[in-house]
A and B are shown apart, each in its own frame.
Chain A
């Protein structure tokens, strides 16, 4: 899929720097993501992938830089943005049902004091059908498998009906059914002109699932259409020259340690 100049830019990052304990987790990042692409952010552990999207969504403070969604700041563009956090970020033994979690995606639009009603329930059910969990609506969330948890989070983002979606590791440790469901949802979103930005770990599936790639290792190494950017040369540059034939990601250097601790990845230290 080629993007020409007429396509609007959905998501812009300029000179973004995020620091933890005096070390940069993301350094001077610049991105311009056109509308309607499925973009993977890939890079070694601790490269700042989750940090980048969290900083974009004002979830963690930025040391410098600006972020724009269709030219607007995050505060102005909140309704345009949907977010799927890592599923490990919540307590799945919380006393609530699947449909309740999905309905939470609509809380922001309801405003203060208003309660979700029939309309919200119908929208939530529809989103659950889309991710193949229609029969699980009244299930307690602790009874879900990891993949079902991920699809619940995906449904919660779908009801937000955003124009740009940010997903933090949706493919991490999910079953084949869930992986297929997520891929189907991603192409559905693209066909509706949505922009989806996904933190991704599995290099093998990048060319198959995504038409746009950002290679990140603290700095943005490259960003653009998959067939131009997803090359052996640039991957070697991103992974410190240790990625052989698109194999599993190699460990990053020491400067990546503090963001790794934040995002919950154990930095692999093979050979050191």
Chain B
């Protein structure tokens, strides 16, 4: 299997994704009468841009085996949203800053538990995730019991609501995404080396702590920006599903990032549209349903790694080798 062949396949996959997206938009307009007005275009663009951002950064999270940390980060954001609302009222900037601070505290707690006790990291993650999320739910319940009218919709942070996205939110996601992409281009070899072999990187004089912190900050930024759209529970899916799907099709990191971005844009855009036009379907679950279909198809059918491919190869191997040796006797 040559590298060239694999890369051509990836271009094919991206072309198929684009084709399905165009078909979806066409069919939804004619058959279901969906109007792609300004609001829906904003929502679709926001979902797709968020998908690009999480898709690209998710590759590093998956390869660094930090998927569960992503899950803890997003769950841990919820109490921060509640506290920020109580302090500053309903202002998206304040809510996201609150979310970021709560997540940061959560991760610090995980690190402190892992360092100072005999508990393993998965246990520490589970404890912090559950505690922070429970505190967040309790806080939101309290806020909803208060006679404050502006609290309506705060619970959308749990499952996400793309329909609430404004043009300014999309601009924010686009700007942050642009910064993240520039960083990845600038620090490409550093990010790659530190992800593959941090020990060797450190022995070569790379500032591993700084590079790791930069990468983690970008991942946290993507998670926090996505909270309003995908919600704290399923945000981790936006991070790891596109990267998991993309990994099946390629053995090159750069190609994986591009394909992951395409998968993220596809899932984010289509999921946001479906949830925006139908009532009472939260965005997070819709995006993750689409992303999970991509993951399932990739795991099943990707050449070289997919299980259908593996089954076929095993059968071919039996024909080729077993028949002449055993069957011939």
Contacts and interface: CB of A to CB of B under 8 A. Distances in A.
Interface in B197-246: 197, 199-206
A59 interface: yes
B3 interface: yes
A217 B256 CA distance: 46
Interface string B67-109: 0000000000000000000000000000000000000000000
Contact of B206 (A59, A97, A108, A116): A108
B189 interface: yes
Nearest to B202: A59
Given A57-B203, A58-B202, A59-B203, A97 B197 contact: no
Nearest to B247: A95
Contacts of A85: 197, 199-200, 203
Interface residues of B, number: 29
Contacts of A116: 189
A94 B59 CA distance: 11
A209 B227 CA distance: 59
A173 interface: no
A113 B186 contact: yes
A8 to B, nearest CB: 23
B196 interface: yes
Most buried by B among A58, A94, A105: A94
A68 B189 CA distance: 29
A78 B202 CA distance: 10
Contacts of A91: 63, 65, 196
Nearest to B255: A95
Contacts of A89: 197, 199
A78 B251 contact: no
B319 interface: no
B308 to A, nearest CB: 19
The DSSP consensus for interface residues of chain B is helix
Contacts of A101: 196
A140 interface: yes
B251 A90 contact: no
A107 B190 CA distance: 8
A59 B208 CA distance: 11
B184 interface: no
Given A59-B199, A97-B3, A97-B252, 10 more contacts: A59-B202, A78-B205, A83-B203, A89-B197, A91-B65, A95-B256, A97-B251, A104-B196, A108-B206, A160-B204
27 contacts: A58-B202, A59-B199, A59-B203, A75-B205, A85-B203, A89-B197, A90-B197, A91-B65, A95-B256, A96-B251, A96-B252, A96-B253, A97-B3, A97-B251, A101-B196, A104-B192, A104-B193, A104-B197, A104-B200, A105-B204, A107-B189, A107-B206, A138-B2, A140-B251, A142-B251, A156-B200, A160-B204
Interface of B: 2-3, 63, 65, 186-190, 192-193, 195-197, 199-206, 247, 250-253, 255-256
Interface of A: 57-59, 75, 78, 81, 83, 85, 89-91, 94-97, 101, 104-105, 107-108, 110, 112-113, 115-116, 138, 140, 142, 156, 160
Nearest 5 A/B pairs, CB to CB: A108-B204, A140-B251, A83-B203, A78-B205, A90-B197
